[in-house]
């Protein structure tokens, strides 16, 4: 069977995935915004630098060439590490290059009719931003250029990206933990409903789920479950009444039919064919009566009515009585029946002797039916500080792993080899019910072709008094 993740885990994974995608989109948007902001600031810086260069050129019109070159060089070094140039439209320099870096820089070609340009260029493997602005000075068309490295912007962007990547696992872990906590809080009422529904069995269908007036989906779920339990309770009660009534009503006709057949069998003048027919009628009536009695027992079990009080008794005596009934049958079938009480010569429990004797007989009868000669049946009763344990072990045909979980189900006889043995399929269901009303637990272990072991553990009177 394919295992599925819980809803809380799936919600956590989805929440974490959506957070991660949102965080990625947020990071990309922030990175683009930061890049645009840094680029805009760089453009503003270069634009202001060219504004100041324009003012300098206007002031230098009356100065001689040497002074103008010196003023331009001082300006270039003071404002941009010497990365500035003034070109004529024919590509020649209006002023001498203020630095070797400016002289070897790959300045873009600008023409007289061009508008202001803001360009990205590479120089010596490093990125630069360059602004080129046409400028008219004393009737002459010039092009003013200034450059600034982008390394600072790149460093800021890389640091931002590293911080973003470093914070992602931490925030993802926090978001996942928060999502799991929220999902568990939201699904906690569902867990309570699940636990309550699991505790409701066919014998407690009258129980209902608590409904809180929240007006949400959980209230509707609880109300729907209660409505379903109401319908199930009604249907099961109808089936119980029908089973009990039908079993009770059929007991009379079956008893009458069996009596008539037994009376007819006493006729010495009856021919062999008629005698066999009446014998078959008597046998089948006896089996049907036994089935009806078992069905009535289970009907009482379903209704929760036992009708008898539990009194202190010695379990060892009950086990000895049941084994005494089974010994002649075991001997006639060539089976060895061994009884071991050990330290449990007196095991006082609260119980009903006839019911317990019936339960032990069901286990012994099951072992007798499914053990072939020369097999063995071992019955052991042991006591501990607060419990008594009855074990019935046989060397019979065993039970398959597929059938073992259903062995206490009513009318369950799936194994063909076991179905060849006469029985109603209700005995173990009755044994389980008797164990439950005695606050005992019954379990089974089996290996095909090697035998079956039934174990029933009872609380002793002392442990019940302490509880």
Predicted confidence at residue 127, as pLDDT, reads 92
For residue 298, how far is the Cα from the chain centroid?
Answer: 36
Same domain flag for 101 and 242: no
Rounded to whole angstroms, the Cα distance separating 332 from 420 reads 20
Same domain flag for 139 and 271: no
Among 256, 285, 303, where does a domain finish?
303
Same domain flag for 359 and 239: no
Has residue 195 been placed in a domain? Answer: no
Same domain flag for 291 and 317: no
Has residue 112 been placed in a domain? Answer: yes
Has residue 212 been placed in a domain? Answer: no
Among 246, 270, 303, where does a domain finish?
303
Has residue 192 been placed in a domain? Answer: no
Q: What is the reported pTM?
A: 0.50
Same domain flag for 51 and 92: yes
Q: What is the token pair recorded at 429?
A: 């269901």
Has residue 389 been placed in a domain? Answer: yes
CATH number, residue 118: 3.30.450
Predicted confidence at residue 310, as pLDDT, reads 84
pLDDT tens string, the chain, 467 residues long: the values are: 455 667 777 778 888 888 888 888 988 999 999 999 999 999 999 999 999 989 998 888 888 888 888 888 888 888 878 889 999 888 888 888 888 888 889 988 876 667 888 999 998 889 999 999 998 888 888 899 999 998 888 889 889 889 888 888 888 888 888 888 887 887 778 888 888 888 877 667 778 888 888 777 878 888 888 888 888 888 877 777 776 666 667 667 777 787 877 777 788 878 888 878 878 887 777 767 766 676 666 666 666 656 677 899 999 999 999 999 999 999 999 999 998 865 556 788 998 898 899 899 999 999 999 999 899 999 999 988 888 999 999 999 998 888 888 888 877 765 555 445 555 678 888 889 889 888 999 999 998 888 999 999 999 886 555 55
Same domain flag for 297 and 323: no
Same domain flag for 150 and 133: yes
Predicted confidence at residue 131, as pLDDT, reads 92
Predicted confidence at residue 424, as pLDDT, reads 64
CATH number, residue 285: 1.10.287.130
Same domain flag for 292 and 353: no
Q: Looking at 266-340, list the stretches that DSSP marks H as alpha helix, in order from N- to C-terminal side.
A: 272-303, 315-332
Same domain flag for 317 and 460: yes
Same domain flag for 113 and 256: no
Domain span at residue 11? 7-156
Has residue 275 been placed in a domain? Answer: yes
Same domain flag for 116 and 18: yes
Q: Are 71 and 78 in contact (CB under 8 A)?
A: no
Same domain flag for 462 and 374: yes
Collapsed DSSP state (helix, strand, coil) of residue 235: helix
Predicted confidence at residue 440, as pLDDT, reads 93
CATH number, residue 341: 3.30.565.10
Among 287, 303, 319, where does a domain finish?
303
Provide the number of structural domains found in the chain.
Answer: 3
Predicted confidence at residue 419, as pLDDT, reads 47
166 burial level (CB within 10 Å; 0-12, 13-18, 19+): exposed
Has residue 362 been placed in a domain? Answer: yes
The closest alpha carbon to 196, from 180, 215, 211, belongs to: 211
Predicted confidence at residue 179, as pLDDT, reads 80
Has residue 198 been placed in a domain? Answer: no
CA 39, 45, 46, 47 dihedral sign is positive
């Amino acid at each position: 069977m394919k295992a599925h993740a819980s809803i809380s885990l799936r919600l956590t994974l989805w929440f974490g995935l959506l957070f991660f995608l949102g965080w990625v989109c947020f990071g990309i948007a922030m990175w683009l915004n930061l890049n645009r902001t840094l680029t805009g600031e760089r453009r503003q810086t270069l634009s202001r630098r060219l504004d100041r260069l324009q003012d300098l050129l206007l002031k230098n019109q009356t100065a001689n060439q040497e002074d103008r070159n010196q003023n331009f060089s001082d300006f270039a070094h003071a404002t941009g590490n010497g990365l500035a140039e003034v070109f004529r439209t024919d590509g020649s320099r209006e002023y001498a290059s203020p630095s070797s870096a400016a002289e070897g820089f790959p300045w873009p070609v600008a023409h007289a009719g061009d508008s202001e340009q803001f360009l990205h260029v590479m120089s010596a493997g490093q990125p630069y931003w360059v602004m080129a602005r046409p400028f008219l000075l004393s009737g002459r068309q010039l092009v003013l250029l200034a450059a600034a490295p982008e390394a600072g912007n790149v460093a800021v962007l890389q640091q931002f990206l590293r911080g973003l990547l470093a914070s992602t696992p931490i925030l993802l872990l926090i978001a996942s933990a928060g999502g799991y906590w929220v999902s568990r809080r939201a699904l906690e009422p569902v867990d309570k409903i699940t636990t309550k529904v699991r505790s409701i069995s066919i014998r407690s269908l009258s129980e209902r789920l608590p409904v809180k007036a929240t007006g949400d989906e959980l209230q509707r779920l609880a109300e729907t479950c209660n409505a379903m339990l109401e319908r199930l309770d009604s249907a099961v009660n109808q089936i119980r009444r029908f089973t009990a009534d039908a079993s009770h009503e059929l007991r009379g006709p079956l008893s009458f039919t069996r009596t008539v057949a037994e009376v007819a069998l006493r006729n010495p003048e009856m021919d062999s064919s008629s005698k066999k027919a009446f014998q078959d009628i008597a046998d089948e009536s006896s089996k049907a009566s036994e089935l009806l009695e078992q069905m009535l027992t289970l009907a009482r079990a379903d209704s929760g009515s036992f009708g008898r009080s539990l009194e202190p008794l010695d379990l060892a005596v009950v086990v000895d009585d049941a084994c005494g009934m089974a010994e002649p049958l075991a001997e006639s079938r060539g089976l060895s029946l061994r009884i071991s009480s050990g330290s449990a010569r007196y095991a006082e429990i609260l119980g009903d002797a006839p019911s317990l004797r019936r339960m032990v007989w069901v286990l012994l009868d099951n072992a007798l039916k499914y053990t072939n000669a020369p097999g063995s049946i071992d019955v052991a009763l042991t006591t501990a500080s607060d419990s008594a344990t009855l074990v019935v072990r046989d060397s019979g045909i065993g039970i398959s792993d597929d059938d073992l979980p259903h062995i206490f189900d009513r009318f369950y006889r799936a194994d063909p080899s076991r179905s060849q043995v006469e029985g109603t399929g209700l005995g173990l269901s009755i044994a389980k019910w008797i164990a439950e009303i005695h606050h005992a637990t019954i379990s089974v272990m089996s290996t095909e072709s090697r035998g079956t072991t039934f174990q029933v553990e009872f609380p002793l009177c002392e442990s019940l008094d302490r509880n």
